[in-house]
Amino acid sequence: MPNSADEQIIIEIVVETSEVLADITNFRKEVDLVKAKLKEFADATGESVSVVGQRFKTAFAQGKIELGEVDELFGVTSISAERFGKVTTQAVKEVAQEEDKATQSTKLFGIELGKLGDIGRLVFGSVLGISL
């Protein structure tokens, strides 16, 4: 029979797991939005996705573009410059993988999570304090 201390531990486990999974899901959505938009910019400018991505990261970090502009351009709402940098880095990496046709299904947590890619490791890594 579980005692109240156990009950509290169980609640914390479920809540923490749920929150981290939601973070991963949100991060995934943001990466997809940014990836699609970076491809559009790259097509329009003739530059590589990597170069375009770097331009946006730098511009946002230096305050040359504002949060509202990032929201409008990329559809990612209320994102910090640091988060935008991580999202853009992941988006650029995935585009490069797609272009190399090197994308492989990633096995994470014992299940095939091809769509998730490295994001789970990134988010879980940050949760666990692991440098990635």
Partner 1 sequence: MNLKRSLKLYKMLEPHLPEDLELEPFDFISIIVHNIKESKRHNDYIDILEFVSGMPRSELLSMEFIDLFEMFAEGMTDLQIIYLAKFCRKMGLSDA
Under the rule (CB under 8 A), what is the footprint of partner 1? 2, 6-7, 9-18, 20-22, 24-25, 109-113, 115-116, 120, 124, 127-128
Q: Are 35 and 94 in contact (CB under 8 A)?
A: yes
Cα distance between residue 7 and residue 20, in whole Å:
20
- Closer CB to partner 1, residue 6 or residue 71? 6
Q: How far is the CB of 119 from partner 1 (least distance, A)?
A: 10
Cα distance between residue 60 and residue 70, in whole Å:
8
Q: How far is the CB of 71 from partner 1 (least distance, A)?
A: 24
- Closer CB to partner 1, residue 66 or residue 130? 130
Cα distance between residue 71 and residue 74, in whole Å:
6
- Closer CB to partner 1, residue 25 or residue 77? 25
Q: Measured in Å, how far apart are the chain's first and last C-alpha atoms?
A: 41
DSSP state of 64: S
Q: How far is the CB of 105 from partner 1 (least distance, A)?
A: 11
